[in-house]
Structure 1
Amino acid sequence: MNPPVHRSAATEPKLETDPELAEVLEELSAREPIFHRAEFGVSREDFERMTVEEFWEVGASGRRYSRNTVLDELEKRYAAGDDDVWETSEFQCRRLAENVFLMTYTLVQDGTRVTRRSTIWQRTAEGWKIVFHQGTVVTDS
């Protein structure tokens, strides 16, 4: 068993967004958590429009998932009609390249499951597209 990790201000990254990216931060935080906001769509076609063809993700389990696998799971989730209770915080946005941005934040689901999330977004002529996503379960504080 690993010893507990003690966090301090010195070990934490500086989670500030460049003021020049305030508009991008606002736009992207309104889209997170990805695939959980009905106003951006709930069908497979909607999710296809939200993602680049090469999209993939690393789940909280550490497993890698292809775009098709993610889309299949999303279809099942929305068909089941389960309640989706979540809260987001600690948004930070960083420019990675021209029209490519990293969005990070914390997600609490059902009041108990805490994950750190990161999404790489690309601004295209068709609108925002998700390139990559990762969720990591927070196991200590």
Structure 2
Amino acid sequence: MTENLKLIEHIKGLEERLLQPFVRCSKKELETLLAEEFIEYASSGHIFNKLEIINALLEEVEVHYKLEKFNINKMSEEIILANYVAVKNDKFYSLRTSIWKYINDKWQIIFHQGTNCSR
């Protein structure tokens, strides 16, 4: 597997991990995946920082997501832009964009935005 394919699979795996109910309800898991400077522009229009999104996710009713049309763009050696479609409970769709940064020998998400869309 080429280095680029490994990177795509790794970032995709991290995105999929963030969509898993067991991760979304684990403060420890979320603190590991989200960088200190994390910010999210949610599809609701609300802007969250790291602490706010962790608290919101810990209160979330369990939902199930699947990821479609995943793609990345390598912006630099330490910055990756990921785009995909998230399907929530097999009926709600959103366009997702994330920025991942290589910090202290691991990839962490520093920015995320979701925009509701139709199929």
Distance of 1:37 and 1:61 partners within structure 2: 20
Distance of 2:85 and 2:10 partners within structure 1: 17
Structure 1: segments with no counterpart, 5+ residues: 1-18
TM-aligned CA distance change 1:121 to 1:66, over 3 Å: same
In the alignment, structure 1 residue 44 sits paired with structure 2 residue 27: yes
- C-alpha offsets along residues 74-99 of structure 1, whole Å, 9 cap, x if unaligned? 2212xx5x2x3222111110011221
Instruction: Name 1:53's counterpart in structure 2.
Output: 36
Distance of 2:80 and 2:87 partners within structure 1: 23
Equivalent pairs counted in the alignment come to: 118
Q: CA RMSD in A?
A: 2.2
Matched-pair contact (CA < 8 Å) for 2:24–2:58: no
Distance of 1:65 and 1:41 partners within structure 2: 15
Superposition pairs for residues 1-141 of structure 1, below 5 Å?
21-33=4-16, 35-37=18-20, 42-77=25-60, 82=62, 84-139=63-118
Structure 2: segments with no counterpart, 5+ residues: none
Matched-pair contact (CA < 8 Å) for 1:31–1:37: no
- 1:31 aligns to what SS in structure 2? helix
| Amino acid across the alignment from 1:132 | F
Relative to its length, the structure with more helix (as a share) is 2
When normalised by structure 2's length, the TM-score is: 0.84
Distance of 2:65 and 2:21 partners within structure 1: 13
Instruction: Name 1:11's counterpart in structure 2.
Output: none
| Amino acid across the alignment from 2:18 | F
When normalised by structure 1's length, the TM-score is: 0.73
Distance of 1:99 and 1:40 partners within structure 2: 24
Matched-pair contact (CA < 8 Å) for 1:55–1:66: yes
